[in-house]
Amino acid sequence: MSFSQAELVNALRLLSGRLPEFSEQQTQAGRLLRVVTERLSSHLNESLKEFGINENLWFAMMAVYVSPNSEILPSRLSDLMDLTRTSATRLSDEMVERGWVERHINQQDRRQIVLKLTPEGEAFIQKIWPQISSKSGEAWEDFTNEDYAQLQHLLSKLLAKLG
């Protein structure tokens, strides 16, 4: 199945002729955003497949890696990744099972559990980062700093409206 932007535009024109106050621009932007998001996800997952992980696990690893002392609360992981607590727990369990993260008692609040990156987890990130960075960079190579700034501005504006 291949996406056709021309077919989308034609379908949206037909809809605008039949539905009062239908916004072609809004719908086209939303559909394009959806298609681009799916393709970016597929592109990254294809790169990660050879390492036996997916984008959620990769982003979870990166969230732990960049946190102070490479430690993060599971609730913070959930918030950063915009996941339910249950999904964040599943990712935490998988990282622990693979030996990339350990669970410890939070020394500031002994009621909390902290996820801490292990040396094996850091070594894994260091090993695959160059390949992942190179492959994902291909999709973005034609973007200028101004393009990034504009895209980030527009997406942040939309995200703020969505809450």
User: Predicted confidence band at 1 (pLDDT cuts at 50, 70, 90)?
Assistant: low
115 with 71, same domain: the answer is yes
41 with 58, same domain: the answer is no
Structural domain count, the chain:
2
DSSP symbols for 18-71: HSTT--HHHHHHHHHHHHHHHHHHHHHHHHHHTTT--HHHHHHHHHHHHSGGGE
98 with 118, same domain: the answer is yes
The whole-angstrom distance between residue 66's C-alpha and the CA centroid of its chain comes to 15
Instruction: Decide which of 20 and 147 is more confident.
Output: 147
Helical (H) or strand (E) element with 152: helix 145-162
Give the residue among 59, 65, 60 at the shortest CA–CA distance from 118: 65
161 lies in a domain?
no
CATH code, domain with 120: 1.10.10.10
pLDDT tens track for 74-112: 999 999 999 999 999 999 999 999 999 999 998 888 888
Contact by Cβ (8 Å): 95, 61: yes
126 with 98, same domain: the answer is yes
**Entry pTM:** 0.81
Contacts of 95 (CB under 8 A, 6+ apart): 57, 60, 61, 64, 101, 115, 121
35 lies in a domain?
yes
64 with 111, same domain: the answer is yes
- Residue recorded with tokens 């020394």: 107
Helical (H) or strand (E) element with 115: strand 113-117
User: Predicted confidence band at 62 (pLDDT cuts at 50, 70, 90)?
Assistant: very high
The whole-angstrom distance between residue 148's C-alpha and the CA centroid of its chain comes to 16
pLDDT tens track for 32-58: 899 899 999 999 999 999 999 999 999
Q: What is residue 128's predicted lDDT score, i.e. its pLDDT?
A: 95
90 with 30, same domain: the answer is no
pLDDT tens track for 116-162: 999 999 999 999 999 999 988 888 999 999 999 999 999 999 999 99
Q: What is the mean pLDDT of residues 51-69?
A: 96
Structure tokens at 37: 């998001």
Q: Rounded distance, CA 24 to CA 28, Å?
A: 6
Instruction: Decide which of 2 and 159 is more confident.
Output: 159
Domain hosting 5: range is: 1-49
80 with 120, same domain: the answer is yes
